[in-house]
Amino acid sequence: MMAENQNIKIPTHVGLIMDGNGRWATQRGLPRLAGHKAGVENVKPTVLAAKKFGIKYLTFYAFSTENWKRPQDEVSGIMNLLSIFIDREVNNLHKEGVRILHIGRRERLDQSLRKKIEDAIELTKNNTTITVQMGLDYGGRDEITQAVGKIVASGVPPEAVTEELISQNLYTAGIPDPDLVIRTSGEMRTSNFLIWQSAYAEWIFPETYWPDFTEEIFWQTLVEYSRRDRRFGGLSQA
């Protein structure tokens, strides 16, 4: 697979909207939570594939600020699955050189889950092979609103507000903007994910539901990305 495509451009940062868990389960006559379980179990293989491909930053959209509107049993189930995932996989990811970061609110998370996230961040903080950001209780508009609030509270005059200053006050401060965002399931929406950071990202929408997103499909999205002509508002360099 990779040997045949050694000349493709590997993005530095890939964002992943893990969509289609519920529909994956429904097609199989399973409860929606079974789809979320399958989706969570696909995170580690995807991280290892990204590491293999040479991607340096990977951001997962795990739970949005809007997902709280879902039925309480589904929300609780998702949080429990994430907690189990951390218990089971953090040490393994640490051994793989993965640095774990969280983007999003923490105050609305269960105290136990919040502690596990903080411990995972602390354990892996010096790892440099690949950085994995988990978007949990994350929303792009909420992120920008909070960033503006911090800037206003710091007393910065309006004429001193720059794009760089706003970027420095986002959850992703210090992380390069995504080059590529992948949304599985074929839905073509940004859904409030990294809306500031992805202004010039390439977007790819494979029709595969997230639990079926394999290393091979991941690679094919990178091949597609490599064919894109990224102009950033300028003219083609070709």
DSSP 140-175: HHHHHHHHHHHHHHTT--GGG--HHHHHHTSTTTTS
Mark whether 179 is an active-site residue: no
Which CATH superfamily does the domain covering 3-141+178-223 fall into? Decaprenyl diphosphate synthase-like (3.40.1180.10)
* Integer CA distances (angstroms), 51 to 47, 58, 163, in order: 6, 9, 30
Cα(225)–Cα(187) distance, integer angstroms: 18
Cα(183)–Cα(202) distance, integer angstroms: 11
pLDDT tens for each residue of the chain, 238 residues long: 554 556 799 999 999 999 999 999 999 999 999 999 999 999 999 999 999 999 999 999 999 999 999 999 999 999 999 999 999 999 999 999 999 999 999 999 999 999 999 999 999 999 999 999 999 999 999 999 999 999 999 999 999 999 999 999 999 999 999 999 999 999 999 999 999 999 999 999 999 999 999 999 999 999 999 998 766 566 565 5
Active-site choice (7, 21, 67, 212): 67
Q: For residues 54 and 10, is the Cβ–Cβ distance under 8 A? A: yes
* Both tokens assigned to 155: 């007393």
Q: Output the pTM of the full model.
A: 0.92
* Integer CA distances (angstroms), 91 to 4, 61, 94, 128, in order: 33, 21, 5, 15
Active-site choice (19, 137, 179, 192): 19
Mark whether 67 is an active-site residue: yes
